Amino acid sequence: METYIAANIETIRQRIETVAARCNRSPASIKLLAATKTVSPAVIEEAIRAGITAAGENYVQEAQAKIDAIGKRVEWHMIGHLQTNKAKYAVKLFDYIHSVDRMDLAREIDKRAALAGRKINVLVEINVSGEETKNGIPESQAIGLMKDLSGLENISVQGLMTMAPYSDDPENSRPYFSELKSLQQKIIDEGIVGIQLHELSMGMTDDFEIAIEEGSTIVRIGRAIFGERKT
């Protein structure tokens, strides 16, 4: 199993290096985030030994058990939808929260982070595709939310996150990733005090190479590392 996971990670890293070279980017500018939903602590340990430095979880309770077992030897990212009532736990567990999409959640994170004596890195989730089944705010509301977030002292806005619609053809994801990159620049051009947009979290197993071509700095890879998810 360990050889299998290590080989998968090496293959992904080689693919990242290839596409980075193709678009004149440094591979070091692209973080490989292992999406570890349903993956056991023992298997995550194997991925860490193979060089993984960041893991992404979808649920607070599941993450709690894994972080208790593994500790903080990797960055822990919350990549799933976060309920407001779970913010008090999330601020103690995670280094990054990718799924901030509303002001009431941001205020709760800010409050809980202050109580925990932390400043939390967050990404704002954008629903670029407009799909009703996806979380995230519409693109049209992003600048307004960023201005509101700039007033929160215990949140550090680091970037944007999105999910492209599922498709058998990875190329179909490109317009959504390109749109998020354009939105990033629009927000930067606003010059909002306290807002840093270094990160673009976009791209998963099926389309991460397209995402890198369009500027992704964090690719969230689960299946290509760990195999098909067990439900």
Residue 2 has pLDDT above 60, yes or no: no
pLDDT at 199: 98
State mean pLDDT over 142-155. 96
Cβ-contact 121, 96 below 8 angstroms: yes
The predicted-structure confidence for 9-19, as pLDDT tens digits, reads as follows 999 999 999 99
Predicted local distance difference test score (pLDDT) of residue 230: 64
pLDDT at site 132: 84
Which residues are CB-neighbours of 179 under 8 A, at least 6 positions away?
A: 128, 139
Q: Taking the domains of the chain in order of start, what are their residue ranges? A: 2-226
Q: Compute the average pLDDT of residues 219-225.
A: 97
Residue range 68-82, pLDDT digits in tens: 999 999 999 999 999
Nearest Cα residue to 120 out of 102, 145, 100: 100
What is the per-residue pLDDT for 3? 72
List the one residue out of 103, 215, 92, 111 whose CA is nearest residue 161: 215
Mean pLDDT to the nearest integer, 102-107: 97
Note the pLDDT of residue 56: 98
Encoded amino acid at 137, one letter: I
The residue with tokens 């939310």 is 145
Average confidence (pLDDT) over 145-149:
97
Report the distance separating Cα 74 and Cα 49, nearest Å. Answer: 11
pLDDT, mean of residues 163-186: 96
CATH for 2-226? 3.20.20.10
